[in-house]
Amino acid sequence: MNRLVVRFTAPYGIAVEQEPLPALPSDSVLVQTIASAISPGTELLVYRGKWPAGIAVDASITSLAGEFAYPLKYGYSCVGRVIDLGSEVPRHWLDAMVFAFNPHESHFIADPASLIPVPAGLSPDSAAMLPNMETAVNLLMDGRPVIGDRVVVFGQGVVGLLTTALLSRMPLSGLVALDHFPLRRMRAVEMGARTAFDPQSPDLFNLIKECFDGGPADLTYELSGNPAALDQAISATGFNGRVVVGSWYGAKKAEIDLGGYFHRSRISIVSSQVSTLAPEFTGRWTTTRRLQLAMSMVENIRPTGLVTHRLPVNRAAEAFALLDQHPEDAIQVILSYEDV
Protein backbone atom coordinates (compact mmCIF):
# COMPACT_ATOMS: atom_id res chain seq x y z
CA MET A 1 0.00 0.00 0.00
CA ASN A 2 1.26 3.49 -0.85
CA ARG A 3 0.60 6.80 0.86
CA LEU A 4 0.85 10.41 -0.26
CA VAL A 5 3.36 12.54 1.63
CA VAL A 6 4.18 16.25 1.52
CA ARG A 7 7.89 17.02 1.43
CA PHE A 8 9.76 20.29 1.74
CA THR A 9 12.43 19.80 -0.93
CA ALA A 10 14.21 23.19 -0.96
CA PRO A 11 13.43 26.80 -0.06
CA TYR A 12 9.98 27.43 -1.59
CA GLY A 13 9.89 23.85 -2.89
CA ILE A 14 7.02 21.47 -2.04
CA ALA A 15 6.54 18.00 -3.54
CA VAL A 16 3.61 15.62 -3.03
CA GLU A 17 4.93 12.10 -3.53
CA GLN A 18 3.91 8.49 -3.14
CA GLU A 19 5.89 6.18 -0.90
CA PRO A 20 5.30 2.65 0.40
CA LEU A 21 3.53 2.40 3.74
CA PRO A 22 5.56 0.41 6.28
CA ALA A 23 4.19 -2.83 7.70
CA LEU A 24 1.88 -2.37 10.69
CA PRO A 25 3.55 -3.44 13.97
CA SER A 26 1.50 -5.50 16.39
CA ASP A 27 1.31 -2.67 18.95
CA SER A 28 0.36 0.15 16.53
CA VAL A 29 -2.58 1.44 14.51
CA LEU A 30 -2.98 2.69 10.95
CA VAL A 31 -4.61 6.10 10.62
CA GLN A 32 -6.12 7.47 7.43
CA THR A 33 -5.83 11.26 7.48
CA ILE A 34 -8.93 13.39 6.95
CA ALA A 35 -7.43 16.86 7.37
CA SER A 36 -4.17 18.47 8.39
CA ALA A 37 -3.62 22.11 9.32
CA ILE A 38 -0.69 24.14 8.05
CA SER A 39 0.92 26.21 10.79
CA PRO A 40 1.48 29.53 9.00
CA GLY A 41 4.19 30.60 11.42
CA THR A 42 6.52 27.65 11.97
CA GLU A 43 5.88 25.89 8.67
CA LEU A 44 6.47 29.02 6.62
CA LEU A 45 9.93 29.33 8.19
CA VAL A 46 10.62 25.79 6.99
CA TYR A 47 9.11 26.57 3.58
CA ARG A 48 11.33 29.64 3.23
CA GLY A 49 14.44 27.89 4.57
CA LYS A 50 14.69 30.31 7.48
CA TRP A 51 15.27 27.91 10.35
CA PRO A 52 18.35 28.48 12.55
CA ALA A 53 21.31 26.17 11.88
CA GLY A 54 21.94 23.19 14.15
CA ILE A 55 18.52 23.05 15.80
CA ALA A 56 16.41 19.92 16.19
CA VAL A 57 13.16 19.78 14.20
CA ASP A 58 11.21 19.07 17.41
CA ALA A 59 12.78 17.21 20.29
CA SER A 60 9.38 16.63 21.93
CA ILE A 61 7.62 14.92 18.95
CA THR A 62 8.84 11.45 17.95
CA SER A 63 7.68 11.78 14.33
CA LEU A 64 9.81 14.94 13.93
CA ALA A 65 13.14 13.59 15.20
CA GLY A 66 16.41 14.82 13.72
CA GLU A 67 17.71 18.19 12.55
CA PHE A 68 16.31 20.46 9.84
CA ALA A 69 17.57 19.43 6.40
CA TYR A 70 15.96 19.10 3.00
CA PRO A 71 14.16 16.96 1.93
CA LEU A 72 11.95 17.03 5.01
CA LYS A 73 8.52 15.80 6.03
CA TYR A 74 7.13 18.36 8.43
CA GLY A 75 3.85 19.34 10.07
CA TYR A 76 2.19 18.46 13.36
CA SER A 77 -1.58 18.84 13.03
CA CYS A 78 -3.25 15.73 11.58
CA VAL A 79 -6.78 14.47 12.19
CA GLY A 80 -7.81 11.09 10.87
CA ARG A 81 -9.63 7.83 11.45
CA VAL A 82 -8.10 4.56 12.66
CA ILE A 83 -8.63 2.01 9.87
CA ASP A 84 -6.49 -0.94 10.99
CA LEU A 85 -5.10 -2.36 14.23
CA GLY A 86 -2.03 -4.34 15.18
CA SER A 87 -2.82 -7.68 16.83
CA GLU A 88 -2.09 -6.36 20.33
CA VAL A 89 -4.24 -3.19 20.09
CA PRO A 90 -7.68 -3.17 21.78
CA ARG A 91 -10.61 -3.26 19.34
CA HIS A 92 -12.15 -0.02 20.63
CA TRP A 93 -9.53 1.92 18.66
CA LEU A 94 -10.96 0.78 15.32
CA ASP A 95 -12.81 3.61 13.51
CA ALA A 96 -11.88 6.13 16.22
CA MET A 97 -11.33 9.72 15.07
CA VAL A 98 -8.01 10.90 16.46
CA PHE A 99 -5.57 13.79 16.46
CA ALA A 100 -1.83 13.21 15.97
CA PHE A 101 1.29 15.38 15.97
CA ASN A 102 2.26 14.04 12.57
CA PRO A 103 3.53 15.46 9.25
CA HIS A 104 1.22 15.98 6.28
CA GLU A 105 0.58 12.51 4.82
CA SER A 106 -2.46 10.49 3.77
CA HIS A 107 -1.78 7.53 6.09
CA PHE A 108 0.50 7.02 9.06
CA ILE A 109 1.31 4.38 11.65
CA ALA A 110 1.13 5.43 15.29
CA ASP A 111 1.38 4.15 18.82
CA PRO A 112 -2.15 4.52 20.28
CA ALA A 113 -0.61 6.19 23.35
CA SER A 114 0.47 9.11 21.11
CA LEU A 115 -3.05 9.72 19.74
CA ILE A 116 -5.65 12.10 21.17
CA PRO A 117 -9.30 11.05 20.68
CA VAL A 118 -11.36 13.80 19.04
CA PRO A 119 -14.52 14.59 21.04
CA ALA A 120 -17.80 13.60 19.41
CA GLY A 121 -19.29 16.40 17.33
CA LEU A 122 -16.01 18.30 16.90
CA SER A 123 -15.12 18.83 13.25
CA PRO A 124 -11.74 17.65 11.89
CA ASP A 125 -10.93 21.25 10.90
CA SER A 126 -11.41 22.47 14.47
CA ALA A 127 -9.53 19.51 15.97
CA ALA A 128 -6.60 20.15 13.60
CA MET A 129 -6.05 23.50 15.36
CA LEU A 130 -5.30 21.76 18.67
CA PRO A 131 -1.51 22.46 18.58
CA ASN A 132 -2.06 26.17 18.03
CA MET A 133 -4.64 26.21 20.81
CA GLU A 134 -2.16 24.47 23.11
CA THR A 135 0.33 27.20 22.24
CA ALA A 136 -2.29 29.83 23.10
CA VAL A 137 -2.99 28.12 26.44
CA ASN A 138 0.74 28.10 27.16
CA LEU A 139 0.96 31.80 26.29
CA LEU A 140 -1.69 32.61 28.88
CA MET A 141 0.05 30.45 31.46
CA ASP A 142 3.36 32.23 30.82
CA GLY A 143 1.81 35.71 30.65
CA ARG A 144 -0.33 35.24 33.78
CA PRO A 145 -2.97 37.89 33.06
CA VAL A 146 -4.80 39.04 36.18
CA ILE A 147 -8.13 40.72 36.71
CA GLY A 148 -8.15 44.25 35.33
CA ASP A 149 -5.05 43.87 33.17
CA ARG A 150 -4.70 45.96 30.00
CA VAL A 151 -3.48 43.59 27.29
CA VAL A 152 -2.15 44.08 23.75
CA VAL A 153 -1.58 41.23 21.28
CA PHE A 154 0.77 41.91 18.36
CA GLY A 155 0.02 39.52 15.48
CA GLN A 156 -3.33 37.97 14.62
CA GLY A 157 -2.38 34.84 12.78
CA VAL A 158 -3.88 31.58 14.01
CA VAL A 159 -1.98 31.58 17.33
CA GLY A 160 -2.63 35.28 17.88
CA LEU A 161 -6.35 34.93 17.21
CA LEU A 162 -6.69 31.93 19.51
CA THR A 163 -4.74 33.80 22.21
CA THR A 164 -7.08 36.77 21.75
CA ALA A 165 -10.07 34.43 22.08
CA LEU A 166 -8.78 32.99 25.36
CA LEU A 167 -7.89 36.42 26.77
CA SER A 168 -11.35 37.74 25.91
CA ARG A 169 -12.82 35.21 28.34
CA MET A 170 -10.96 36.85 31.25
CA PRO A 171 -12.07 39.94 33.25
CA LEU A 172 -9.57 42.34 31.68
CA SER A 173 -9.81 46.12 31.59
CA GLY A 174 -9.11 46.09 27.87
CA LEU A 175 -7.86 43.91 25.04
CA VAL A 176 -6.34 45.40 21.88
CA ALA A 177 -5.20 43.41 18.85
CA LEU A 178 -2.68 44.53 16.23
CA ASP A 179 -2.14 43.20 12.73
CA HIS A 180 -1.25 44.57 9.29
CA PHE A 181 -4.10 42.83 7.48
CA PRO A 182 -7.77 43.97 7.62
CA LEU A 183 -9.13 40.39 7.48
CA ARG A 184 -7.19 39.41 10.58
CA ARG A 185 -8.16 42.60 12.43
CA MET A 186 -11.81 41.84 11.68
CA ARG A 187 -11.42 38.27 12.96
CA ALA A 188 -9.71 39.59 16.12
CA VAL A 189 -12.74 41.68 17.01
CA GLU A 190 -14.99 38.69 16.28
CA MET A 191 -12.83 36.63 18.66
CA GLY A 192 -13.29 39.17 21.45
CA ALA A 193 -10.79 42.03 21.12
CA ARG A 194 -12.19 45.43 22.05
CA THR A 195 -10.61 46.88 18.92
CA ALA A 196 -7.86 46.15 16.42
CA PHE A 197 -5.31 48.48 14.82
CA ASP A 198 -2.72 48.31 12.07
CA PRO A 199 0.67 48.41 13.88
CA GLN A 200 1.81 50.98 11.31
CA SER A 201 -1.02 53.37 12.25
CA PRO A 202 0.15 56.94 12.90
CA ASP A 203 0.19 57.71 16.63
CA LEU A 204 -0.30 54.00 17.45
CA PHE A 205 0.70 54.22 21.09
CA ASN A 206 -1.76 57.03 21.82
CA LEU A 207 -4.48 55.00 20.12
CA ILE A 208 -3.67 52.10 22.45
CA LYS A 209 -3.65 54.35 25.52
CA GLU A 210 -7.04 55.78 24.56
CA CYS A 211 -8.42 52.25 24.79
CA PHE A 212 -6.92 51.93 28.27
CA ASP A 213 -8.13 55.22 29.76
CA GLY A 214 -4.77 56.86 29.10
CA GLY A 215 -2.49 54.15 30.46
CA PRO A 216 -0.06 51.72 28.82
CA ALA A 217 -0.44 47.96 28.61
CA ASP A 218 0.26 45.78 31.62
CA LEU A 219 0.82 42.71 29.48
CA THR A 220 1.86 42.54 25.83
CA TYR A 221 2.18 39.52 23.57
CA GLU A 222 4.50 39.56 20.54
CA LEU A 223 3.09 36.90 18.20
CA SER A 224 3.64 38.52 14.83
CA GLY A 225 6.69 36.50 13.79
CA ASN A 226 8.45 39.80 13.05
CA PRO A 227 11.39 40.47 15.42
CA ALA A 228 11.17 44.21 14.70
CA ALA A 229 7.75 44.18 16.40
CA LEU A 230 9.45 43.52 19.73
CA ASP A 231 10.48 47.19 19.91
CA GLN A 232 6.86 48.22 19.48
CA ALA A 233 5.73 45.70 22.09
CA ILE A 234 8.21 47.12 24.62
CA SER A 235 7.08 50.67 23.86
CA ALA A 236 3.42 49.74 24.38
CA THR A 237 4.13 48.26 27.83
CA GLY A 238 4.11 50.18 31.09
CA PHE A 239 6.45 50.21 34.07
CA ASN A 240 7.10 46.70 35.42
CA GLY A 241 4.92 45.23 32.69
CA ARG A 242 5.44 41.93 30.90
CA VAL A 243 6.21 41.25 27.25
CA VAL A 244 5.66 37.63 26.26
CA VAL A 245 7.45 36.56 23.07
CA GLY A 246 5.67 33.60 21.49
CA SER A 247 7.00 34.12 17.97
CA TRP A 248 9.64 31.83 16.57
CA TYR A 249 11.86 34.12 14.51
CA GLY A 250 14.07 31.35 13.12
CA ALA A 251 17.00 32.96 11.34
CA LYS A 252 15.31 36.38 11.15
CA LYS A 253 17.01 39.17 13.12
CA ALA A 254 16.27 42.80 13.93
CA GLU A 255 17.86 45.53 16.02
CA ILE A 256 16.18 46.00 19.37
CA ASP A 257 16.57 49.29 21.24
CA LEU A 258 17.11 48.41 24.89
CA GLY A 259 18.95 51.61 25.73
CA GLY A 260 16.00 53.98 26.08
CA TYR A 261 12.56 53.47 27.60
CA PHE A 262 13.18 49.79 28.36
CA HIS A 263 16.26 50.44 30.48
CA ARG A 264 14.44 52.25 33.30
CA SER A 265 11.04 50.60 33.07
CA ARG A 266 11.74 47.22 34.68
CA ILE A 267 9.90 45.49 31.85
CA SER A 268 10.15 41.69 31.85
CA ILE A 269 10.60 39.92 28.51
CA VAL A 270 9.38 36.34 28.76
CA SER A 271 10.11 33.54 26.29
CA SER A 272 7.12 31.25 25.77
CA GLN A 273 7.43 27.98 23.86
CA VAL A 274 4.95 25.13 23.96
CA SER A 275 7.35 22.16 24.00
CA THR A 276 7.96 22.70 27.72
CA LEU A 277 6.15 23.99 30.79
CA ALA A 278 7.50 26.89 32.83
CA PRO A 279 9.33 25.33 35.83
CA GLU A 280 6.98 26.94 38.35
CA PHE A 281 4.06 24.91 36.92
CA THR A 282 5.71 21.50 36.85
CA GLY A 283 4.75 20.60 40.41
CA ARG A 284 1.06 20.55 39.47
CA TRP A 285 0.87 20.64 35.69
CA THR A 286 1.97 18.19 33.01
CA THR A 287 1.98 18.64 29.25
CA THR A 288 -0.85 16.07 29.16
CA ARG A 289 -2.98 18.21 31.47
CA ARG A 290 -2.26 21.30 29.34
CA LEU A 291 -3.15 19.42 26.15
CA GLN A 292 -6.44 18.24 27.66
CA LEU A 293 -7.26 21.82 28.60
CA ALA A 294 -6.41 22.95 25.06
CA MET A 295 -8.80 20.38 23.57
CA SER A 296 -11.57 21.61 25.87
CA MET A 297 -10.86 25.17 24.67
CA VAL A 298 -11.11 23.99 21.05
CA GLU A 299 -14.50 22.48 21.94
CA ASN A 300 -15.55 25.72 23.59
CA ILE A 301 -14.40 28.12 20.86
CA ARG A 302 -14.82 25.86 17.76
CA PRO A 303 -12.50 27.98 15.65
CA THR A 304 -13.59 26.86 12.17
CA GLY A 305 -14.24 30.53 11.35
CA LEU A 306 -10.46 30.92 11.10
CA VAL A 307 -10.31 28.50 8.16
CA THR A 308 -10.04 30.60 5.00
CA HIS A 309 -8.97 27.90 2.54
CA ARG A 310 -9.37 24.12 2.25
CA LEU A 311 -7.28 22.51 -0.50
CA PRO A 312 -6.73 18.86 -1.45
CA VAL A 313 -3.33 17.56 -0.37
CA ASN A 314 -2.15 17.22 -3.97
CA ARG A 315 -2.32 21.04 -4.12
CA ALA A 316 -0.06 21.48 -1.10
CA ALA A 317 2.44 23.56 -3.09
CA GLU A 318 -0.37 25.98 -3.93
CA ALA A 319 -1.41 26.10 -0.27
CA PHE A 320 2.06 27.10 0.91
CA ALA A 321 2.48 29.63 -1.90
CA LEU A 322 -0.84 31.19 -0.88
CA LEU A 323 0.28 31.64 2.73
CA ASP A 324 3.67 32.94 1.62
CA GLN A 325 2.53 35.36 -1.10
CA HIS A 326 -0.96 36.40 0.02
CA PRO A 327 -1.06 36.47 3.82
CA GLU A 328 -3.65 39.23 3.59
CA ASP A 329 -6.16 36.65 2.29
CA ALA A 330 -5.27 33.55 4.31
CA ILE A 331 -5.41 32.65 7.99
CA GLN A 332 -5.83 28.91 8.52
CA VAL A 333 -5.26 26.71 5.46
CA ILE A 334 -6.39 23.09 5.73
CA LEU A 335 -5.17 20.22 3.55
CA SER A 336 -7.94 17.71 2.75
CA TYR A 337 -7.39 13.98 2.09
CA GLU A 338 -10.95 12.94 1.34
CA ASP A 339 -10.36 11.91 -2.31
CA VAL A 340 -6.88 10.32 -2.09
pTM score above 0.75: yes
The helix or strand, by DSSP H or E, that contains position 219, with its residue range, turns out to be: strand 217-222
Please report, rounded to a whole number, the percentage of residues in the chain having pLDDT higher than 90: 84
Q: What is the pLDDT of residue 63?
A: 53
Residues 325 and 80: their CA atoms lie apart, in Å, by 29
Q: What is the mean pLDDT of the chain?
A: 93
pLDDT average, residue stretch 139-152: 97
pLDDT tens-digit series, residues 249-271: 877 887 888 888 888 899 999 99
Range with the poorest average pLDDT among 22-26, 43-47, 101-105, 257-261: 257-261
Question: Per-residue pLDDT for 122 more than 60?
Answer: yes
Contact call for residues 110 and 31 (beta carbons, < 8 A):
yes
Residues 47 and 4: their CA atoms lie apart, in Å, by 19
Question: Per-residue pLDDT for 59 more than 80?
Answer: no
Residues 285 and 306: their CA atoms lie apart, in Å, by 29
Which one is the CATH code of 2-123+302-336: 3.90.180.10, 3.10.20.30, 2.60.120.20, 3.30.479.10?
A: 3.90.180.10
Contact call for residues 174 and 194 (beta carbons, < 8 A):
yes
Q: What is the greatest pairwise CA distance in the chain?
A: 66
List the chain domain ranges: 2-123+302-336, 132-279
pLDDT tens-digit series, residues 222-259: 999 888 899 999 999 999 999 999 988 877 887 888 88
Residues 203 and 111: their CA atoms lie apart, in Å, by 54
Q: What are the φ/ψ torsions at residue 2 (nearest 5 degrees)?
A: -105, 160
**Exposed, middle or buried by CB within 10 Å (0-12, 13-18, 19+), for 76?**
buried
Q: What is the pLDDT of residue 120?
A: 94
* Packing angle, helices 158-167 and 130-143, rounded to 10: 50
> pLDDT tier at 339 (50, 70, 90 boundaries)?
confident
> pLDDT tier at 55 (50, 70, 90 boundaries)?
low
Q: What is the pLDDT of residue 298?
A: 98
> pLDDT tier at 137 (50, 70, 90 boundaries)?
very high
pLDDT tens-digit series, residues 270-279: 999 999 999 9
Q: What is the pLDDT of residue 328?
A: 96
The helix or strand, by DSSP H or E, that contains position 222, with its residue range, turns out to be: strand 217-222
Q: What is the pLDDT of residue 257?
A: 85
Contact call for residues 295 and 288 (beta carbons, < 8 A):
no
Q: What is the pLDDT of residue 255?
A: 84
Q: What is the pLDDT of residue 54?
A: 60
Contact call for residues 69 and 46 (beta carbons, < 8 A):
no
Q: What is the pLDDT of residue 41?
A: 86
Q: What is the pLDDT of residue 69?
A: 84
Q: What is the pLDDT of residue 22?
A: 93
pLDDT tens-digit series, residues 161-174: 999 999 999 999 99
Residues 115 and 53: their CA atoms lie apart, in Å, by 30
- Hey, what CATH class is 132-279 in? alpha beta
Q: Which of 247, 251, 246 is nearest to 49 (CA)?
A: 251
Range with the poorest average pLDDT among 70-74, 77-81, 97-101, 323-327: 70-74
Q: What are the φ/ψ torsions at residue 243 (nearest 5 degrees)?
A: -115, 115
Q: What is the pLDDT of residue 7?
A: 96
Give strand pairing partners of 20. 2
Q: What is the pLDDT of residue 211?
A: 95
pLDDT average, residue stretch 2-6: 96
Q: What are the φ/ψ torsions at residue 249 (nearest 5 degrees)?
A: -85, -15
Secondary structure (DSSP) of 77-126: -EEEEEEEE-TTS-GGGTT-EEEE---SBSEEEE-GGG-EEPPTT--HHH
The helix or strand, by DSSP H or E, that contains position 20, with its residue range, turns out to be: strand 13-20
β-strand 332-336 against 29-38: which pairing, if any? antiparallel
